[in-house]
Each structure stands twice: as structure tokens, then as C-alpha cells.
Structure 1
Amino acid sequence: MFSYPSLADDHYSTLTLSTEMELAGTRDSVLFYVEQMQKKYPDMRNFYARNKRDFVLEGDKDNGQYRWSAVEPRRVSSGCVNFESYADAIDQHHSALELAPHALSVSPLDCEAIDLLAGFDFTYRGNHNELVNEALGLCPAFERLAAMPGTSFINNEPNITIAMDDDCRVQCRVSIETRTSPYHVRTGEFQEDQLSVYVTARRYGSLDPGKTFGDALDELDRICREIIEDHVAPSVLEPLARTIAMG
């Protein structure tokens, strides 16, 4: 198993439970939810409202390592940034899903989708799109196009989504997000910014009878780990890190 902190400059895990109906976002229900999360994770001390109906509980961001949780009208989220233990991040997500049905009246029938995202950021000053090409290469069908004289990359963000079951209800997406704009390419004034790699496992629809949100998270966790450790880490993250180090 890979050491996640060693794979990129920053890494994070985010869980999102989206619902068909609005949550029971009363003052008492939201406060009960965040108070219970804080009891288990006392480092999450900062609570605030965002856009009047979005409520966030988070830890101090000063050292770059923190937890957060959010309640929105139709979404419950949990996040862990630069965690030392991947298992600890998943445990936090389980806590959020265990609390949501009781505190916020979420039913397994009310599930629109559950997402588990693993993100990896590389800090790089230069053309992110060129970096992706150099580290990962292009689809052979595009190689001649990219080799045309006088051209330069202004967008190169590979992404692929695969279904993990016959019904296509469970899917996994691997995507790259660059932050180099045409202005940067035109002027040559590249800023130090983060290139992101995302692995997102998603389950659509109501849960099957007898299944819990925790069961769904365990399935998505297994998919994410397999995709990252068998494919993304050796074929995407490590080549990007090597190319940046050589540059």
C-alpha cells in the first residue's frame, strides 16, 4: 500500500452525500450534528454559516493539515486534508454518515448519490498542460495534432469514467485539472499553482434494502484504493512527480 503523503505535495479525501429532498436543516438539527462531530474530532473548532443555508465546521488551516464537515440544503460533506492515515480519513467519513440519518433525517431511500473523492495536488510553476503531456503522453490519435509547428498546449486535461457494475450505478472517474490559462501561455508569466489529480468513486440512487450508508462507503473506499494503488499512483502520480523533479 502506498503512503499517501508521499504521492503529492498535498492530498485530501472528501465524502459527499447528496439527497433528493432537502435536509432537516433546522437550527437544532444542524447544531446537534456539528456538536457530535466536534466531540469526536475536537480539533474542528471553527463553525460558521456560508450563504445563510450552508454551515461549515472546520479545523485550523494554518499548518495545512485539517478536517472539515459541511451541511447544505441537499448535501452533507466530510473532508480531511493532508491526513497522515488514510484509514483515519475514512473513519471520519463513516462518522458523518452514521450521524446524518439521526441528526438530519436522511433516509437510504433519499440518496441521490454518494461520492468519495481522493485528490492529489502538485505545486508547479510552468505550463501545466505541457507538463501533463511530457509526463503522461497523449492518445496516439492526437500526437500528430500536438506536433504541428508553432502550436502550444492551452488545455490538456485527460479524464476517464468507468462503470463498475452492469447497471452503471457505481462509477469511478479519474481526471486531471490544470490551472494554466491562455494568458499565462501568451505572456510566459507562469505562476506557481497546483495541478490536481482526482479519483472519484460514485454510487447513484437509493440504497438497496438492508444496506446502510456505511456499507456504500466501504464499497466506494475499496474501489478508490484499488484504482489509486494499482493504476493512478504508478501510472499518473509518480510520472508527474518525476517530471516535476527533473524540470
Structure 2
Amino acid sequence: MWIFETFCDEFCVATRLYLKLDLAPSRETLLHFCEQIRRAFPSMTRFRRRADGAVVLDEEEREQSGRRYLRIGTNALRFGQFGPPAREAVAQFGRVVFTQAPVQLSLSDLDYQNMEVLYAFDLEYAGNHDELVAETLLGDNPLMAAVRGGERRIIECQPCIGVALGSEDLSTHAYIDVRGRTSMFEIRSGEYEPQPLTVYLTLRRDLRTAPSDLLRTHQELLELGEEYAASRVIPHVVRPLREAIASRR
């Protein structure tokens, strides 16, 4: 069982498969694909088209964790689960989607661009997100010496860092990205609404050079993300931010 949700206010795992060519399934094909997903997960009954043209199949809003969604866009297939109890729950969803999608949507490995598995950790905070991130994660960094002093106030600090993992062809990457949602109006007024400060861990594999078995790739990225989140992102990014938020309440 995962304990990631105990370190944040909301936890989500999402998968994105990016394609080289636009998806243009017929109405019947799209409905049949979504019906196959619904058969595997009967609670996924809400079906709609978004303003950008993407089609979404998901579960009704509910308080308990586990809500799944599937989004079919112009050049990408996305799906995810909020508060999954364990890696196997996400893997099971992925097995259904990646077993059905190549057949139902006529996907080919020639068309695969890259796959991403994203672990998202939301930390609710009513305050200056950018200032919190700068002081917590960059407090002793030489970069901070350039902006400290006087009446200066941090208005932008959303660090992102990426590394290549393992393979000589550099096809697998890990990115850690911290994104705040504080507006200039809030900073000027000093009145802050509770909003999520999000830490993203993204595992990406370039499918143009790496093997393109979708099920195996998804499983490998999930495992990499689980290990990286537990050993690095939680202790060195999420937990310090959570403790800093708690000290300001």
C-alpha cells in the first residue's frame, strides 16, 4: 500500500502518451473504445466533450480517493487516478487502456512520441507560494543572495530540474517541478486564498529510440516513479514544504 497521500492534501498519478500524428477516430470508434473502458471500470460513467475538442470519460466527483479519468485529445492519450491506494491500481488501469487503445484507436509504434508518468503532490497553503518555495528549498543557495535584502519580495520561484536515468541513450528522464499558484493581486493585498502548491515528479521515456511496448514501458515508469518519489521527492522536497507550511499556520 502507498502512503504518499499521508504527506500531502491530494495525490494523483497520471499517464500521458504523446503521438506524432493527430488522433481522428470516428464517432463509433470513440464510443466503442470508451465503452470497453467502462466495462472494466463500471463507475466511469461521465462522458463529455471539452471546449478544446478533447473527449473525457471519468467518474462522478466524490470525496473518497480513487477517482479515475481518461482523456482523448488531438495528439495525446491521458489517464490518471486520484489517491490510488497502490501502484497496482494504476498499473491495472494502464493495462486496460494500453491493451484497448492500439486496437480501438488504430495506434502504431511508428506513431509513438513519448510516454510520461506523473506523480503529483498537492500541499494546500494560504500564503505566498513562491516565497515559501524559495525560503524552504533555496534558503542557503547562492542564488538567494542576489534577491535578499531591503523590501524585496519573492514573486516568482517555480524550480524545475531534470536528469537522465541509467540508459546510455538518455531516453528515460526524471523531472522535479514545483509550481505555486499565488497571484500578484494576493501579494499586493496581503490576502491569500488557500490554494494547492504542487510538487510534480515526471518520468518520461522517448519512444522514438526506446522499445515501444506500451504495457512494459508504463510498468517500468511506474516503478521508477515509486522509487524516486519515496527515496528523493518526499524526503527532500514534499516533506520540507509540508513542515514549512505547518510552521506558518
Q: TM-score, normalised by structure 1?
A: 0.93
TM-superposed CA distance for 1:146, in Å, is 3.1
Gaps of 5+ in 2: none
| Alignment RMSD (CA, Å) | 1.8
Residue aligning to 1:72 = 73
| 1:169 correspondence with 2:171 | yes
Amino acid at match of 2:106: S
Cα separation, partners in 2 of 1:42 and 1:151, compared to 1, 3 Å: same
Residues 4 and 86 in structure 1, CA contact (< 8 A), matched pair in contact too: no
SS at match of 1:92: helix
Determine whether 1:109 maps to 2:110: yes
Q: Is the 8 A contact 1:47 1:55 kept in 2?
A: yes
Aligned to 2:51: 51
Q: Which residue type is aligned with residue 34 of structure 1?
A: C
Match of 1:200 in 2: 202
Q: Tell me if the contact between 1:48 and 1:55 (Cα under 8 Å) persists in the aligned partners.
A: yes
Residue 84 of structure 1 aligns to a residue whose secondary structure is: coil
Residue 189 of structure 1: which of 188, 191, 202 is its match?
191
TM-superposed CA distance for 1:82, in Å, is 2.0
Q: Where do residues 108-187 of structure 1 align in structure 2 (5 Å cutoff)? A: 108-138=109-139, 140-164=141-165, 165-187=167-189
User: Residues of 2 paired with 1:28 and 1:212: CA distance?
Assistant: 26
Q: Secondary structure at the match of 1:60?
A: coil
Aligned counterpart, 1:26: 26
Partner amino acid, structure 2, of 1:14: A
Question: Identity across aligned pairs (percent)?
Answer: 26
Task: Read off the aligned partner of 2:164 and give its amino acid letter.
Answer: A
Alpha-carbon distance in 1 for matches of 2:183, 2:46: 34
**1:142, CA displacement in angstroms?**
1.2
State whether residues 108 and 207 of structure 1, in contact with CA within 8 Å, keep that contact through their aligned partners in structure 2: no
Check if 1:225 corresponds to 2:237. no
Partner AA of 1:30 in structure 2? L
Give the CA deviation at 1:199: 0.5
Displacement after TM superposition at 1:222 (Å) = 2.1
- Corresponding residue of 1:100: 101
Q: Give the C-alpha shift of residue 52 in structure 1.
A: 7.0
CA shift at 1:76, angstroms?
Answer: 1.0
The alignment of Structure 1 onto Structure 2 pairs a total of residues equal to 246
Decide whether the 8 Å contact of 2:171 with 2:209 is kept in 1: no
Any conservation in 2 of the 1:25–1:73 contact (CA below 8 Å)?
Answer: no
Q: CA deviation at 1:107?
A: 1.0
Q: CA deviation at 1:6?
A: 0.6
Q: AA paired with 1:56?
A: V
Deviations 1:87-133 (A, max 9, x none): 20232122211111111011122101111111010111011112213
Whole-Å Cα distance in 1 between the matches of residues 158 and 74 of structure 2? Answer: 31
Change (3 A) 1:130 1:64: farther
For 1:166, the aligned partner's letter is E
TM-superposed CA distance for 1:138, in Å, is 3.6
How far off its partner does 1:2 sit? 5.3
Aligned-partner Cα distance in 2 for 1:198–1:56: 22
Tell me the TM-score normalised to structure 2 length. Answer: 0.92
